[in-house]
Each structure stands twice: as C-alpha cells, then as structure tokens.
C-alpha cells in the first residue's frame, strides 16, 4: 500500500489530499472559483505541515488528467510534475470523470445521496464545457465504464438510449444546466473531490501504472480555442 498526494484542479473546485492505502487522511478544498494557481501550493504545504509528512515520504503524486478546464488542468498537472521532478516520485494520472464517479458511489454508500433503483441505474458524471456542452461518460454503479469520454452538446435527445433503458443519474458541475433539458433523468449534487481519486490512484499504483513525467499532458478532449475580440481597442 502507498501514501499518495492527490491533486484535482480541473473544475472550479480545487481539491488536494493525502491518501494512505486508498483512503484520504487529510484534505483541503476550495470552491471559491478558479484561483487554483494561488491555492494548490498552499494546500499542499498545509497538508504536509498538519500531518508531519515530508514530500520525500510520499510514494507517488496523483493528478486529475481531465477532461476539464484547460487552465485548471494545466495548473494541477504542472504542479504535480514539478513535485515529481523534485522528489523523484512517480506520477499517476487519474481520469477526472472516473474520480467524480467514485465520489458519487462513496456518497451513496454513506447515505449522502439517495437514488432509487441504484443497483440498475447508470451513472453519468458531467464536467462543464461551457454553453450547453459537457464532457460526459456513462458508468454502471460498480464503476465500470460503459462508454468512452465524449464532448456532448446537450439537448432533449442526448443520452436517449440510456434514458430509455432505465434510471440515468447525472451529477457534476456540468449537470446542473442539463437537468431542465433532460426532465426524465435523476440529478444529484455531487462535486469533484480527491476523495474519488484516492482509491483509483491506489489501484494504479498497485498495478505500476505511472505516467511519463517528462511527456505527460492533460486530456483536454477538445482543442483550446482562442477567440479574437470584435471590439476595437484603439
């Protein structure tokens, strides 16, 4: 088993935690917007100070690889890679939708969320991709992926096959805007957290699944687009 520093900055939540044997032992989180660059280093320092653990004592660094906010992902990945370079520890990349799905499963088991027909339901974590677009993926309640990660422009036809088959549960910061468009789905309040990353990072560590620190890049899913303002500045 391992001691892993977990970092998730792909949405408006900045979440950092220390996990031992797949369980979070110390956690720092903020939902005050995407000021992650000023928070992630402070949170990591606070975790080490609180626990008395030094960076050299951790076994690996895990980071949310996306999809998610372009800037947020780069902040988390850059910090994680820098820490790996400095300590010589391996890097673990965890899918952000996989981690969000694990938070939902944990919240259900803890009684925080209530979903009828949980055993046969399908889980759909969603990350906001602006406008009516979301990054989404379908899982069963055992955590097995049933689809690939995709960028979806949500309308009343979205996820039609899964909605016909039974209960579809949507959650994440992209799900709120979809609830009115998809009235027959079940919306639950689940937010990104390294609580979901911890068990997945431990499994990856046990299997020896590490990312290449030098060449790893976040999973953006779609290209970052720079738009030119139509306003005349001069």
Supply the pTM of this predicted model.
Answer: 0.90
**Domain map (residue ranges) of the chain:** 3-96+192-207, 97-187
CA distance 110 to 101: 14
The 10 Å Cβ neighbour count of residue 192 is: 29
Instruction: Give CA separation, 82 vs 77, 78, 101, in Å.
Output: 8, 6, 27
CA distance 231 to 143: 47
Indicate the pLDDT class of residue 229, thresholds 50, 70 and 90.
Answer: very low
**Burial (CB count within 10 angstroms: exposed 0-12, middle 13-18, buried 19+), residue 53:** middle
DSSP state, residue 145: B
Backbone Cα Rg of the chain: 18
The CATH number corresponding to 97-187 among 3.10.620, 3.30.2390, 1.10.3470, 3.30.420 equals: 3.30.420
In this chain, the answer to whether the domains covering 3-96+192-207 and 97-187 adopt an identical fold is yes
Nearest to 149 by CA among 179, 116, 174, 180: 174
Q: Is the pLDDT of residue 226 over 50?
A: no
CB 4 within 8 A of CB 198: yes
CA distance 145 to 122: 10
Helix (H), strand (E) at residue 204: helix 194-207
**Taking residues 77-98, what's their average pLDDT?**
97
Segment 4-32, tens digit of pLDDT: 999 999 998 999 999 999 999 999 999 88
Q: Is the pLDDT of residue 123 over 60?
A: yes
The CATH code of domain 3-96+192-207 reads: 3.30.420.40
DSSP state, residue 124: E
Segment 58-83, tens digit of pLDDT: 999 999 999 998 999 999 999 999 99
């Amino acid at each position: 088993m391992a001691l892993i520093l977990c970092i998730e900055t792909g949405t408006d939540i900045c979440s950092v935690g220390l996990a031992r044997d797949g369980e979070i032992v110390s956690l720092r989180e903020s939902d005050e917007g995407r000021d992650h660059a000023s928070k992630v280093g402070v949170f990591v320092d606070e975790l080490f100070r609180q626990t008395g653990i030094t960076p050299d004592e951790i076994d690996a660094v895990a980071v949310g690889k996306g999809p998610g906010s372009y800037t947020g992902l780069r902040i988390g990945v850059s910090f994680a890679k820098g820490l790996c370079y400095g300590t010589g520890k391996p890097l673990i990349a965890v899918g952000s939708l996989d981690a969000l799905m694990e938070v939902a499963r944990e919240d259900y088991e803890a009684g925080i969320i209530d979903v009828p027909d949980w055993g046969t339901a399908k889980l759909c974590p969603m990350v906001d991709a602006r406008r009516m677009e979301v990054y989404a993926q379908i899982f069963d309640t055992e955590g097995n992926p049933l689809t690939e990660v995709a960028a979806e422009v949500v309308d009343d036809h979205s996820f039609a096959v899964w909605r016909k088959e039974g209960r579809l549960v949507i959650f994440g910061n992209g799900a709120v805007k979809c609830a009115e468009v998809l009235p027959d789905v079940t919306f639950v309040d689940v937010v990104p957290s390294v609580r979901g990353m911890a068990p997945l990072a431990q499994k990856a560590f046990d299997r020896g699944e590490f990312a290449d620190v030098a060449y790893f890049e976040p999973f953006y899913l779609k290209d970052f687009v720079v738009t030119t303002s139509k306003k005349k500045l001069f």
